[in-house]
Each structure stands twice: as structure tokens, then as C-alpha cells.
Structure 1
Amino acid sequence: MSPTDGRGGRGGRGGRGGHSDDLALALALADTADAVTLPRFRAADLRVERKPDRTPVTDADTACEDRLRSVIADHRPDDAVLGEERGGELGAGRVWVLDPIDGTKNFSRGVPVWATLIGLVEDGRPTVGVVSAPALGRRWWAATGAGAHTADPARGVEDERIRVSGVGDLADAYASTTDLDHWRTIGLQDRWLALTQACWESRAFGDFWHHCLVAEGLIDVAVDPGANTWDLAAAQVIVEEAGGRLTDLTGAVRCDGGDALVTNGHLHEAALAILTPDR
């Protein structure tokens, strides 16, 4: 499939409104990413190295980002690119934000919870987002004004509109975070524990998955105490178009704040009051 044929690839018509062409390209980029990453998943010769920050990177991470950058250069040569593996900046104008494999630790261990994240940020605001998790057989996407959608072939779903939950009390909420030990590392473990005590149930789905679960209305609160722009740009537009909210832990609406609170919207202020009581 050509990235510019307007159909958006597997899992989507490309959306409606002013970003339909960009969403179609993002969905086609996700097809491209899946074709690179999935054959390397659980490959016997997968190469895993450590970056200076001690996080893992595989040959699939770099190959995927390089391929996506090449396609973007062909079809949007005037747009900038920010990626986890090859760098870049989130400046003014149009910037494609790429995480070739979100959940590299899972990928390298053979755990199927990982995804490629593709976002388009325009003047600091995400307007298109695609999350493709081929080992789970799932994809989520959104564009400003076009709603949030998912594909779930196991249920026979090619394009389903998704919405956040209507839970309005933390006592009834399902909450998720990433690695619990990171909260200890930054000296805020008590804040997360206080939130879990206020909620009905807690888990650690982590990474892209808990953001998408919030957008689908399956959980109600997700907290990332440490996150990068490429972790959040695609998620922000998906969550917002599903009716939810994504802010940093000061309550600012941004994907580059270094952390994130994602909720169904109804619970946002209550969760912030526990996580950042002195804001």
C-alpha cells in the first residue's frame, strides 16, 4: 500500500476533517513499522545493546526508526522528525514524533506488549496519533476532530470508535502505572501508593498500553512518573479524542513535560490533588 493512497492502511479509513491525509500517512507508516518489527520479535539473532542511560535498544528499534524517517522524508520532506533513537527537536511547525518500539524491554524478552508510536505535533500540539501493537494484534489511532478509533481483529473489529469511561469517583477507579520502583527512585513512591489507596484497583500495565486502555474506557487512570515526548505525543491525541485528558503532573496540557497523568477527565483533578498536592 502506498502511504499516500488515502485509505490509511490496515485499521482505518484515514479519518475525517483537516488531518485526513496526515492520518492516512501515519497509518501507512504503522504498516511499515509492523513489517520491520514483527519479524524481529522473538528472533533468535535479535541484537540487544544498552544505551548510555542503560535502557535497552535492539536492531529492530533502529531499523524501524530509520525506515519511518525515510518514508516521511519521501512524503513530507518539509516536516521535522523527533525520534527516540535518532534524536531531533520538538520545535515550531510540523514535527513527526516517533517511538519505533515502545516497550523495548518487553520486546527483547519476548513479551508481546510493545508498540510503535507515531505522532504528528503541530506548533507544540499533537494532532495525529497512531499506536500499533502488532504482537497483540491491536491498533489505536486518532486525529483532531476525527475521534479516536481502534482495530481489534480478534473481535472482528476493523474500525471502532472508542470513548473513555464514565467513572466519576476514585473509589470506583481502575489505575495503572509503569515500574513501581521508578516512583521510589524519584522519591515519590508515597504519592503513587496514596493514589492506589484511593482507587478501587491498581495494576502496572505501563507504557503505551495503559494510555490506550484509558482511551477505550477499560481503565480510568494511568500515571507515568517518567516519560519522554515520543512516549506521549501519539497517546495525547488518542486520549483527548476519546474524551479524556493528558497532562503532566503539574496539570499542564503537554506531551513534553517529562511525566504524565492520563485519565477519563472526570477523575483528573482528584488524581492530581493526590499526586501533586503542593502544585
Structure 2
Amino acid sequence: MPIAFESLLETAHKLANAASSVTLSHFRTGTNADHKGGSSFDPVTVADRGAEEAMRAIIRRDFPDHGIAGEEFAPVNEGADYVWSLDPIDGTRSYITGLPIWGTLIGVLYQGKPVLGVMDQPFIGERFWSDEQAAWYRGPNGLRRCRTRTCASLGDALLTATTPDMFEGEDATHFDRLAGSVRMRRFGGDCYAYGMLALGQIDIVAEACLKPFDIVALIPIVEKAGGAVKTWDGGEPQAAGRCIAVGDPALLDVALDRLRG
């Protein structure tokens, strides 16, 4: 039987609060980063691990039969109806360089579909989340509902991606084709860019090489704000990989056509 959404959201906020206690205690303190391995630097810090451990403990207490899929530790009970998707620090490169565009991502999937998302940036005091009807933002100036903006033309659109380094080979060609059609492109957003899209500041976020925990929490926030999220081939985005988010759903097909060439 489905769990009351309010209970899930209450726990999601608890997770964000617990993670922030860990991440803020290490931010801009010269915390060392380990390399997870691979050809390019893939950093992880004690804050990543500590924040995820804190969130997992709360889930085990509140919903012991739920699954957990996080970035830093092995998945648990992935076949459960409810699975929590955790990214304790999305944007660890930003985190270790002192830039406040990282965030904690908390998502819930019900039978494989994202139904709830939280994106928290505790250093600047901003949190984005979705409920059953809408997406919300709370920041220094208070609480307001998130709404994407109207922009049906690529020529008027503002586009962001975390880094050009995520596009290699044909992906770089496809991205450059899309980026060459918009009014302006910017790099360096991490998960924060999706929050700005939900607030109507950005029109497109296009990225590659995403893991599920990079995107699951952001899907309900963007969609409940009025936008759309898909893979580059038009599929459902929770499997991650190459994903695109648009504020105006009318922009989706033309953006996908440009990506495909």
C-alpha cells in the first residue's frame, strides 16, 4: 500500500537537515579529497561519506523496508517499491574548491518512478523540493512556488551544463550543435542549475555521463515547476546517462531534434 506522501516528504527534509550538519562542518576548511579511481579525477571527501551515512541511518529508522541507492555506499533492497536515491554532495568538485553551487540530492522512487525530490544548498540557505502538486523554493527571502518560464524558441533560450568535459566524441558534437543554437550558454551549475531552471532563470540544462543519483531527485522538482526532463533519445530520465531538462515543454522536441542532428 502506498505510503502517505507527507510522511515521505517529512523524512526527506530530515535527511537534508542531517546532511547539512555534516557538509557545512567541512566546507571551506581545507578538507582533503580522495580519488575514487579512473582516468579523470573523481573526488570524494569525508563529508560525502558522513552525510550519506547520516541520511541512511534516518531511512533505516523511519522506513526500514525501503531500498537505498546512494553514491558512496552499496545499494540496499533495490527491488523494494520505495527506493531512496541519495547524492550527499552533488558537485564535489565545486565543494572542494569552495564554490557554493553544490547541493545534497534526495529522491524517492515508487515502483521505479521518481515521485519526490529535494535539492538542498545549506551554505546559502536554499532548498528546493516537490510535493504532490507543485515545486517549492525556500531561501533568504522566504518561501515561494517554483514556476518555469515560457520560452519556445531555441534562439531565445539560456542553456547550462556543469562542464564541457562531460561531453566526449559524438556527445560533444551533439551538444555543440544545441549550444550553438541558443542565445547564451554557461558552464558550472551542478545540481543548482536545475533549481534555477525551476525558478524560471534558465531554459535548458543538457548533460551527459549522469548517474541515477545525479538526476532522480531533480526530475520531480523540474516537472512540478512546469518543465520536462528526458534522455537525449526522448526516454525516461531516471536511468540517467545523457539527459536534458527544459523549462518550457514546447522547447523539448526542437531541442531533442537539434541534439540528434
**Superposition TM-score, scaled by structure 2 size:** 0.93
Q: CA deviation at 1:28?
A: 1.5
Q: Per the alignment, in what secondary structure is the counterpart of residue 267 of structure 1?
A: helix
Residue 255 of structure 1: SS of its match in structure 2?
A: helix
Q: How many angstroms apart in 1 are the aligned matches of 2:175 and 2:217?
A: 24
Which residue type is aligned with residue 267 of structure 1?
A: L
Per-residue Cα deviation, 1:161-201 (whole angstroms, up to 9, x for no partner): 11111111111110111211221x24322222221221111
Match for residue 160 of structure 1?
A: 144
Q: Indicate if the aligned counterparts of 1:91 and 1:124 stay in contact, CA closer than 8 A.
A: no
Q: Equivalent residues in 2 for 1:1-279 (5 A)?
A: 18-44=4-30, 46-53=31-38, 54-88=41-75, 90-143=78-131, 145-153=132-140, 156-157=141-142, 159-183=143-167, 185-264=168-247, 265-277=249-261
1:91/1:247 Cα in 2 relative to 1: closer, same or farther (>3 Å)? farther
Separation in structure 1 between the aligned mates of residue 193 and residue 134 of structure 2, nearest angstrom:
19
CA distance in 1, matches of 2:32, 2:126: 25
- Check whether the contact 2:126–2:138 (CA below 8 A) recurs between aligned residues: yes
Amino acid at match of 2:259: L
What is the identity, as a one-letter code, of the residue corresponding to 2:18? T
In the superposition, relative to structure 1, how do residues 71 and 186 fare at CA in structure 2: closer, same or farther (>3 Å)?
Answer: farther
Instruction: Give unpaired runs (5+ residues) of structure 2.
Output: none
Distance 2:18 2:45 in 1: 17
In structure 2, give the amino acid aligned to 1:80: G
State which drifts further: 90-99 or 132-141: 90-99
User: Secondary structure of 1:85's match?
Assistant: coil
Q: Partner residue of 1:14? A: none
Shift, 1:36, TM fit: 0.9
The residue type paired with residue 65 of structure 1 is E
Which portions of structure 1, spanning 4 or more consecutive aligned residues, are displaced by more than 4 angstroms? none
Distance (Å, rounded) in 1 between the aligned partners of 2:144 and 2:16: 18
Deviations 1:114-151 (A, max 9, x none): 110000111111111100011232110003x3300001
SS at match of 2:209: coil
Gaps of 5+ in 1: 1-16
Q: Which amino acid in the other structure matches residue 171 of structure 2?
A: L
For residues 196-218 of structure 1, give each alpha carbon's deviation from its aligned partner in whole angstroms, at most 9, with x where no partner exists.
22111111133201111111111
**Percent pairwise identity:** 32
Is the 1:97–1:120 contact (alpha carbons within 8 Å) kept by the matching residues of 2? yes
Which region of structure 1 is more displaced relative to structure 2, 49-58 or 96-105?
49-58
Distance of aligned partners of 1:248 and 1:91 in 2 relative to their CA distance in 1, 3 Å threshold: farther
RMSD across aligned positions (CA): 1.5
SS state of the match for residue 17, structure 2? helix
SS in 1 for 2:200: coil
Residues of 1 paired with 2:66 and 2:144: CA distance?
A: 30
Greater Cα shift, 70-79 or 199-208: 199-208
Tell me the CA shift for residue 92 of structure 1. 4.8
Range that drifts further, 126-135 or 200-209: 200-209
What's the secondary structure of 1:88's corresponding residue?
Answer: coil
**Normalising by the residue count of structure 1, what TM-score does the alignment of the two structures yield?**
0.87
Q: Matches of 1:187 and 1:41 in 2, distance apart?
A: 36
